[in-house]
Chain A
Amino acid sequence: MAEIKTIRKWFWVWDFEKEERWLNDMAESGWALVSVGFCRYSFERCEPGEYIVRLEAHGFDEGYVSFMEDTGAEFVGRYFKWIYFRRKSELGPFDIFSDIDSKIEHLKGIARMIAIIGGANLVIGVGNARYSPANLLCATLLMYGLGRIHEKIEQLKRERELHE
Chain B
Amino acid sequence: MYENTALTEAIYYILLSLLRPNHGYGIMQSAEELSHGRVRLAAGTLYGALNSLCDKGWIVQLPVDPQSRRKEYEITERGRKVLMSELDRLRELVRNGEMMTGAAEADGEEGGRNDG
Contact = CB atoms under 8 A, between A and B. Distances in A.
Nearest to A58: B44
Given A99-B9, A101-B8, A106 B44 contact: yes
A64 interface: yes
A95 B23 contact: no
A98 B45 contact: yes
B42 A97 contact: yes
A102 B28 contact: no
A99 B45 contact: yes
Chain B contact patch, size range: 20 to 34
Given A67-B24, A67-B47, A70-B23, A98 B40 contact: yes
Q: Which of B9, B43, B47, B49 has the most CB of A within 10 A?
A: B43
A145 B3 CA distance: 37
A96 interface: yes
A81 B9 CA distance: 29
Interface of B is mostly: helix
B25 A71 contact: yes
Q: Which of A71, A72, A106 has the most CB of B within 10 A?
A: A71
Interface string B77-115: 000000000000000000000000000000000000000
Contact of A56 (B8, B44, B46, B69): B44
Contacts of A156: none
Interface in B16-58: 23-25, 28, 40-49
Given A67-B47, A70-B70, A97-B42, 5 more contacts: A67-B43, A71-B25, A97-B45, A98-B41, A99-B45
Interface of B: 8-10, 23-25, 28, 40-49, 69-71
